[in-house]
Amino acid sequence: MIYYFLILLIASCIRFPGLNLIPPGQSANLVLRIFSAFSGVISVGLVMLIIKDRTKNISLSLISGLILCFMPWHIEQSRVVSGVNSGLTLILFYSWVYWYLPCRICKIFLFAAFTIIFWRIYPSFWIFSGNWTLPTFTEIMGNLFKLISGEFLFFKNDTFWRGGLRTYGVMLPGFIPAFMLGIYLIFKKQGFIKYAKWYLLFIIIWVLSAVSPNFPESREYFLILPYLTFICALGFYHLIENSKKRLIFRILFISYFMFIIYEYILFTHFYTVHYQQRIKEEFQYAKINF
C-alpha cells in the first residue's frame, strides 16, 4: 500500500508545483489547472487499481502507475486546463466502479450519469461540438496509421499544436524496447482474439480521434494512455523478471534504466526551460483557456 501512496506523492510533486509558471498562462486559469493536476494524480491511482484488479499482479500495477506518472503527454495535460485529462479520469473511475456494481440497472444508471458528467467536463470533445464534417476515406486511413505510428508515439505529438509538447512523442524514445516487448507479449501470451473486448474501447477512441474534423488537433487520443501504459508496463515487468535470472541481464537492464533516467532528465530540462520559451514566443494567452 505504501508504494501506491509513494507513486501518488511523486505524481503530485510533478504536477502541482509551479502550476501558474510552467507552462506560462493566465492567472485566472490556475484553479482549472489545479483541477486538471488533481485529475492527473487520481488517474494514476485509478490505473494502478484497475490493473491490480484485472491482473492480480501488484508489481505490474505499480510499474504501470510509475509509467503513467512520468509519461510526457500525461504530465503536459495535467499541468494545463485539459478537459480530456478530466475525461480520462472519469472513464477510469467508471471502469473501476463498473465491476463492483451488483446489478444491470445500476450499470445502466452509472453509464447514463457518466455520459452526462463526461459531456460537462469535456465539452470540447468533437462529437459534442456539433462539427461533424468527416475527413475523406484516404485521410481517415492516414490518420489511423498516424496515431499508431512510431513517429507520433515516440517522437512528435502534434495533437495540441499551440501549447503542446510537439517536439516529444506521447512517450519517450527510450520506451521503445519495453513497448515492443509488451506488444510481443500480448500477442504471444495474452490471446489477441480472446481479449478482444478489452481492446474495443481502444479501437473506438482510435477511430473517433482519426475521424475528428480537427485532426491533428485531436486530443481525444489521450484517452488511450492507459493502454499504452499497460503495454509498456508489461514490457518492463518482463525485463525486470528476466534481469533477476542472470547477471548479464541485470547489467543490461540497469544500463537501460539509467538511459531512461537520462531521458527524463532531458525531458525535464526541455519542459522547464525550452518549452516555456517556445510557449511565450508563440502563444497568445487571450485566445485559449490554457
Partner 1 sequence: MQKLIFKPRIIIILITFLAGILRMPYLDKYPPALYSDEVSQGYNAYSILKTGKDEYGKFLPVSFRSFGDWKPPLQTYLMIPTVLIYGLNAYGVRLSGAILGTLTVLLIYFLIQEFFKAFDRNINRQAKNNPQIIIALITSLMLAVSPWHIAQSRSAMLVGVTLFFYILALWLFFKGLTSSKYWILSAAGFAVTIYGYYGMRVTVPLTIIMLSVFFYKNILTGAKKLIIPAIIGGLFLIPLFWGFIKEPDIVFGRAKTVSIFYDRGITLTIWDLQKKDGVKFPPILARFFHNKPYLYSVDILRRFGQHLDGRFLFIKGDAYPPFQIPGMGMLYLVDGLFILLGLIRLIKSDSKLTAFILILITISLFPAALTFLTPSSNRSFHLLIPLMFLVSGGIVYVLQKLKLQRKIIIMVLIFVIYTGNFLYFGYQYTTILPRDHADWWYYGYAQLISYLSDHENQYSQIYISGKTSVPYIYLLFYKQTDPASVKSQIRRDYTADDFGFEHVAALGKYEFPRYFNWKADSRSLLPNSLLVTRSDEIVENNINLINEIKYPNGETAFKVYQIN
Question: Residue 233's closest CA among 80, 41, 5, 7?
Answer: 7
153-172: contacts with partner 1 (CB under 8 A) = 154-156
Compute the least distance from the CB of residue 144 to partner 1, in Å.
Answer: 7
Rank residues 119 and 192 by Cβ distance to partner 1 and give the closer one. 192
- Joined together, the cell numbers standing for residue 255 give 544500463
Among 109, 113, 277, 282, binds partner 1 (CB under 8 A): 277
Q: Do 243 and 64 touch, CB atoms closer than 8 A?
A: no
Residue-by-residue DSSP string for 34-45: HHHHHHHHHHHH
Q: Shortest approach of partner 1 to residue 232 CB, angstroms?
A: 16
**Residue appearing with cell numbers 444491470:** 104
Q: For residues 218 and 210, what is the distance between their CA atoms, to the nearest angstrom?
A: 8
User: Contact with partner 1 (CB under 8 A): which of 20, 115, 131, 149?
Assistant: 149
Phi and psi angles of residue 45, each rounded to the nearest 5 degrees, phi first: -65, -40
20 contacts partner 1 (rule: CB under 8 A): no
Identify which of residues 27 and 138 has a Cβ nearer to partner 1 in the complex: 138
Candidates 5, 119, 145, 195; binder of partner 1 (CB under 8 A) is 145
C-alpha cell at 75: 504530465
Q: Name which of 13, 24, 10 is nearest 284 in CA terms.
A: 24
Task: For residue 188, state whether it binds partner 1 (rule: CB under 8 A).
Answer: yes
User: Should residue 136 be labelled a site residue for partner 1 when binding is judged by CB under 8 A?
Assistant: no
Mark 191-230 with x for binding to partner 1 (rule: CB under 8 A) and - for no binding.
-x--------------------------------------
Tell me if 133 contacts partner 1 by CB under 8 A.
no
Residue 83: CB atoms within 10 A of its CB come to 22
- Residue pair 249/242 in contact (Cβ under 8 Å)? The answer is yes
Residues 138, 194, 244, 287: which binds partner 1 (CB under 8 A)? 138
24-63 residues near partner 1, rule: CB under 8 A: none
All three cell numbers of 117, joined, read: 458528467
C-alpha cell at 16: 502541482
Binding segment toward partner 1, per CB under 8 A, in 64-72, 94-102, 180-188, 194-202: 180-188
Least Cα distance to 7 among 74, 54, 82, 56 occurs for: 74
Measured CA to CA in angstroms, residue 112 lies from 94, 115, 188, 202 at distances of: 11, 5, 37, 20
Which ranges constitute the DSSP H helices of 99-218?
A: 104-121, 126-129, 137-147, 150, 176-185, 196-210
Rank residues 17 and 150 by Cβ distance to partner 1 and give the closer one.
150
142 binds partner 1 (CB under 8 A): yes
The answer to the question of residue 141 lying near partner 1 (CB under 8 A) is: yes
Question: Is residue 177 close enough to count as binding partner 1 by CB under 8 A?
Answer: no
Nearer to partner 1, 133 or 136 (CB): 136
Q: Using CB under 8 A, which of the segments 70-78, 95-103, 210-218, 271-279 binds partner 1?
A: 271-279
Joined together, the cell numbers standing for residue 258 give 539509467
Residue number with CB closer to partner 1 (24 or 173) = 173
For the record, the C-alpha cell of 9 comes out as 506523492
Per the structure block, which three cell numbers stand in for 269?
530540462
Interface residues toward partner 1, by CB under 8 A:
138, 141-142, 144-146, 148-151, 154-156, 173, 176, 184, 187-188, 192, 265-266, 269-270, 273-274, 277
